[in-house]
Amino acid sequence: MTTSALLKEESIAQQIFFIRAEKVMMDFDLAKLYNVETKTLKRAVKRNLDRFPPDFMFEISQEEYKTLRYQNGTIKQGRHSKYLPYAITEQGVAMLSGVLKSKRAIDVNIVIMRTFVNMRRLLMGNKELAQKIRELERMMQSRISDHDKKFQLVFEAIRQLMQEKSKPRKAIGFRARNKLVGATSCLNH
């Protein structure tokens, strides 16, 4: 993957996971983005543990690691360290810029911070939409007739669609000289 492809928000958004009700990035994904070995990143963090309290970074459990591996299929057994990875929150990623002092670390952190902010905006937009739908539904409740019951079905369908968790789809087609030929699927966040 090229440097510019690594630094696209869409690419970074696929590396953000929800663990323990937190949006986090895994240490091995961050190391790849910073262009350092995972053990180098972990060593830098361990030398500065006072900068990484538990709400900035935590080691995931074996069960969380298995769940993450099965859900995403991106973490292959045997490809990563024998040690459990660290999950690093948005604040922890911001703190990494003070620990890893390269120009690349600064550039990567800026893109990661923008990605976290855009994800937060997207989630807030969904919350606001859900609130507006609830308000509209309450208004309609006072005027329910047989005809209006159809609106209830529409509201329920919208609620279900908003709650469904979509998974990013893999590109389909075949590769010809490092280019994908065929249809590609949309990335859902």
Cα–Cα nearest to 86, from 177, 4, 159, 20: 20
Q: 86 pLDDT exceeds 80?
A: yes
pLDDT digits (tens, 9 = 90+) for 60-71: 999 888 888 776
Residue type, 69: R
Write out the H or E segment, with its range, that includes residue 175: strand 174-176
Strand order in the sheet with 57-59: 16-19, 22-26, 86-89, 57-59
Residue 105 burial by CB count (10 A; 0-12/13-18/19+): exposed, middle or buried? buried
The reported pLDDT for the residue numbered 183 is 47
Question: What are the structural domains of the chain?
Answer: 3-116 (3.10.260), 124-181 (no CATH)
Instruction: Enter the DSSP assignment of 187.
Output: P
pLDDT, greater one: 5 or 115:
115
DSSP sequence for 36-61 = S-HHHHHHHHHHTGGG--TTTEEEPP
Q: Which helix (H) or strand (E) holds 92?
A: helix 90-99
Encoding tokens for residue 91?
A: 């604040």
pLDDT of residue 1 exceeding 50? no
Are 87 and 26 contacting, i.e. CB atoms less than 8 angstroms apart? Answer: yes
* 176: helix, strand or coil: strand
Indicate the pTM of the whole model. Answer: 0.59
